């Protein structure tokens, strides 16, 4: 089964690249930010017991949740980046807490037409690809759901795939 594969390792080494998302109305508010947020909170966050990111937020926009470690309430977040500064592990990069939050529908319309998601179709550096993916802890590949997989060096190897 083909999935959109987000490679966080490659993303972190080529941040200057411009990613093309199919969402046409706000070109600077691409759905890729939502994918980054999703993957970062699940796989990179160290799951601090007393999370400084949460307590530093002036808008109560971050909450610890069991399913994804952290949840950001986009309608409260003012993108002040206090959480980014408070995190002792550098987990939260600016792209994870944008002011204009986006949603990614994984280009369902394109998938129905047997086309790859727009970001994968236009990505030349392998950060986003659309391919057959097998979960493999050895290869640092994790399946998030029926449509999305992530390649990253996870802080803690998940015992089973987290289906969200």
Least separation in angstroms between CB 55 and ligand SF4: 9
Beta-strand pair 128-132/69-72: unpaired
Least separation in angstroms between CB 79 and ligand SF4: 5
**How do the residues of the chain divide into helix, strand and coil, expressed in percent and rounded to 5?**
25, 15, 60
Cβ closest to ligand SF4, residue 59 vs residue 139: 59
Q: How far apart are CA 92 and CA 39, in angstroms?
A: 11
Least separation in angstroms between CB 11 and ligand SF4: 17
Nearest to 152 by CA among 135, 139, 134: 139
Cβ closest to ligand SF4, residue 67 vs residue 78: 78
Least separation in angstroms between CB 124 and ligand SF4: 30
Cβ closest to ligand SF4, residue 16 vs residue 49: 49
Residue position matching structure tokens 């659309």: 130
Residues that bind ligand SF4 (CB under 6 A): 45-48, 51-53, 56-57, 59, 61-62, 70, 72, 77-83, 87, 89, 91-92, 97
Q: How far apart are CA 90 and CA 62, in angstroms?
A: 16
Q: How far apart are CA 153 and CA 138, in angstroms?
A: 10
Cβ closest to ligand SF4, residue 47 vs residue 136: 47
């Amino acid at each position: 089964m083909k999935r959109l594969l987000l490679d966080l390792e490659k993303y972190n080494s080529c941040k200057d690249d411009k990613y093309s998302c199919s969402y046409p109305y706000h070109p600077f508010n691409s759905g890729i930010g939502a994918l980054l947020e999703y993957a970062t909170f699940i796989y990179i966050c160290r799951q601090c017991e007393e999370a400084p990111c949460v307590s530093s937020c002036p808008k109560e926009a971050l909450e610890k949740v069991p399913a994804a470690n952290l949840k950001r309430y986009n309608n409260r977040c003012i993108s002040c980046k206090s959480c980014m500064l408070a995190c002792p592990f550098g987990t939260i990069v600016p792209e994870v807490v944008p002011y204009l939050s986006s949603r990614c529908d994984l280009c369902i319309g394109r998938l129905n037409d047997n086309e790859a998601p727009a970001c994968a179709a236009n990505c030349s550096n392998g950060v986003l690809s659309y391919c057959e993916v097998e979960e493999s802890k050895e290869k640092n590949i994790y399946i998030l759901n029926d449509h999305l997989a992530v390649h990253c060096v996870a802080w803690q190897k998940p015992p089973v795939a987290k289906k969200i």
